[in-house]
Amino acid sequence: MVDPALASRLQFALTTIVHIIFPVMSMGLAPFLVYFTWKSIRSLDPLWERQRRFWIRIFAISFVVGTVTGLVLEFEFGTNFAAFSTFAGELFGGPLAAEGMMAFFLEATFLGVFVFGREKVGDALYMVSAVAVGLGTWLSAVWILIANSWMQTPRGYELARQNGQPVVTLVDPVAAYLNPRFPWMFVHMQSAAVLSVALFMAGVAAYFVYRSDRSRDGDEPDSSGDDGASEGAAGTDDVRFWRTTLKIALVVLLLTAPFQVVHGDSYARHVAETQPQKFAAMEAQYETEAPAALHLIAIPTDPSAFTDPRAENLWTVDIPAMASVLASGGDPTYEVTGLDEFGESPPVAIVFWSFRAMVLLGFWFIGLAAWAAYRWWRGDLFADRRLHLALMGSAPLGFVAVETGWIVTEVGRQPWVVQGLLKTEEGVSPGLTGTEATLTLVGFALVYTGLLVGYGYVVRRLVLAGPPEIESTADSSESGRNPSQTDSTTTAEVVRDD
């Protein structure tokens, strides 16, 4: 059987890796949905109501699954990491409780109105529900990241003894909750969520634009049959829908991709100042040097180096002094502390390559946005099939970048669960056996794999169902209704009709 500490860490990593997909989707979609709602209220153009209805379905299913998987994560603090909960419960429990009371309740209260109540409430209340749901989604991230950032840079506490065991006592909530890491984590995470959803939207839109262009060029058979005229009109509306979606997603991508790289560079300097051990692992820097070279590539020359954090037998491709420049913000003589200065190190290969994957993806997103902007400026955004294929292939990559970023954040902190205060192996539930931990790990792996497959299947069906049809402006005017107040189609109806 697997060691209970290792099995618990693997189980928590598995559940976190799967869970993070759903809040990223809902947090990233929130500002888009607020915009679509505002446009649908102010405009008689049914395009915006179709945008709102289409994307709200994916938001709703992501919110539901994210809520369930998030609750499981909180239970794991008691089942697998009871010692950690005892040690840091006074500080850690507050943000989690606030997240439930302030963020989740706000989001859940207005979600029913936002998803099902468009034709039942007025424009003002519906707009309030959209903003409240979006605010609740982002407020959840505030409290979760307060808790996690405190584990990275603990502040505002004192150590006391309770029943002979050391425990954290909260003495300064402001210092603890607004610890040095929190603003960096929050801005980077929320920007990553919006960027990830913009890539997803661009990929989905590019797929339908690509298909429509192939159909017009005769690469695909016309299956309109006897209803060709009516389907042709609907098809024209759909082409306009997806082209608008593509443009909106690319505008957001153009704004967020460069910002994320610039902010990430500053964030890395903050890590070098507050967690030099993590920064050293990110750069595979073993010896303290000034200047320190940046290792573009670090490949172990012995298989044991993949699992041995202290292995230094690496083949590297370097840029002289660049690690010093990045750590200091421009000083090529800055001294970078090496891993040899610390007693224990994280698994360097995992942290090093996860960090480089994240950075590489970040620069790819900038290049992709620039490519799309150039084709848009040239007037052939909708004709460049290679661009469409690149956007389709990049649709999930924002989520991959988020996953690798969290691997750097969490694995890079090892062996500490609370930096400098409590090691991960010391936070595991003392009564947990290897058999129990292994069985739950296997069970979670099976359940979460099925959950992820099921979520992907539902989202795929929602996407392929396309935007819902609504009354035209003329028909709505004759009946005395605004297009945005026609009967809405729920997620369940879409899945059933498809």
Above 60 in pLDDT, residue 225? no
Contact, 249 vs 199, CB < 8 A? yes
- Put residue 269 in one of left, alpha, beta given phi > 0 → left and psi -120 to 50 → alpha: alpha
pLDDT of residue 490: 39
Alpha carbon separation from 152 to 270, 412, 421 (Å, rounded):
12, 10, 10
Alpha carbon distance 341, 360 (integer Å): 29
pLDDT above 90 (res 191): yes
Q: Are 196 and 398 in contact (CB under 8 A)?
A: yes
What is the residue extent of each domain of the chain? 1-179+433-498
Range name among 218-227, 367-376, 416-425 with the lowest pLDDT average: 218-227
Q: Which of 388, 422, 487, 496 is nearest to 49 (CA)?
A: 487
Mean pLDDT across the stretch 176-201?
96
Q: How far apart are CA 38 and CA 32, in angstroms?
A: 10
What value does the mean pLDDT take over residues 105-120? 85
**Which of 339 and 396 is assigned the larger pLDDT?**
396
pLDDT at 296 over 80: no
Query: How distant is the alpha carbon of residue 409 from its chain centre?
Result: 13
pLDDT of residue 307: 55
Separation CA 263–CA 191 (nearest Å)? 10
Higher pLDDT, 317 or 5: 5
CA dist 434 and 439 (Å) reads 9
> What average pLDDT does the structure give for the chain?
84
Q: Give the Å distances, CA to CA, from 151 to 236, 341, 371, 413.
A: 53, 22, 40, 9
Confidence category of residue 312, pLDDT binned at 50, 70, 90:
low
9 φ, ψ to 5°? -65, -40
Query: What is the number of alpha carbons within 13 Å of residue 432 lying toward its C-beta?
Result: 30
Average pLDDT, integer, range 276-289: 86
Least reliable range by pLDDT among 8-22, 148-162, 188-202, 217-231: 217-231
Whole-prediction pTM: 0.88
The amino acid that residue 56 corresponds to is I
Q: Are 50 and 467 in contact (CB under 8 A)?
A: yes
Q: Which tokens belong to 287?
A: 């010896």
Whole-angstrom distance, CA of residue 209 vs CA of residue 204: 9
Average pLDDT over residues 358-376: 95
* CA 118 – CA 127 distance, rounded (Å): 10
Q: Check whether 480 has a pLDDT greater than 90.
A: no
Residue of 257 and 79 predicted with greater confidence: 257
Where is 317: in which H helix or E strand?
strand 314-319
**pLDDT value at residue 228:** 42
Mean pLDDT check: name the lowest of 17-21, 159-163, 285-289, 476-480.
476-480
Judge whether residue 430 has pLDDT over 80. yes
